[in-house]
Structure formats: C-alpha cells, structure tokens
C-alpha cells in the first residue's frame, strides 16, 4: 500500500493542477478519505493564438513557394 501511495503522490505532483500550484493535503485526510482515488485535475495550458501578421506571412510564404503564382 505504501508503494501505491508514494506513486500516487509523485503522479499528482507531476500532473495535477492543484498539486503543481502548491496544494499540500493533510496527510491524515489524504489517507482517511482515500484521496488517492480522486481524479487528477489536469493542467490547462492556454492555446496560443496566431497573430494576423503571422498568418499573412505564412500565406505569403506559401505563395512564394509556388513560384509566386496562384
């Protein structure tokens, strides 16, 4: 059981949003409430938006790659 708990804590420290942000559960609560059965809350990374200038450069690059023809 100890190996399973240690593995869960390591997994949560690497993948659970709250744990990554510094959440530290009370050890007795973690054990008494079977918190290792809780779902891991994933980290949500923002989607990087492409700027209009970057889109235009990409379109221009495609146009040039075709030899400047439509």
| 60 lies in some domain | no
Evaluate whether residue 4 is within a structural domain: yes
Structural domain count, the chain: 1
Q: Is residue 5 part of a domain?
A: yes
- pLDDT band of residue 70 (cuts 50, 70, 90) is low
Domain containing residue 28:
1-42
Within-domain flag for 56? no
In a domain, 18, yes or no: yes
Residue 66: half-sphere exposure toward Cβ, Cα within 13 Å? 8
What is the structure's pLDDT at 45? 78
pTM of the model: 0.59
Is 50 among the domain residues? no
More confident: 35 or 57: 35
C-alpha dist (Å) from residue 28 to 33, 35, 42, 66: 8, 10, 24, 66
Residue 5's pLDDT is: 95
Mean pLDDT (the chain) is: 87
Q: How far out from the chain centre does Cα 1 lie?
A: 28
pLDDT at 44 over 70: yes
């Amino acid at each position: 059981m100890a190996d399973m708990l240690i593995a869960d804590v390591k997994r949560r420290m690497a993948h659970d949003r709250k744990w990554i942000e510094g959440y530290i559960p009370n050890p007795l609560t973690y054990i008494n409430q079977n918190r290792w059965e809780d779902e891991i809350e994933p980290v949500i990374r923002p989607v990087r938006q492409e700027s209009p200038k970057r889109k235009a450069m990409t379109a221009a690059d495609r146009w040039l790659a075709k030899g400047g023809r439509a």
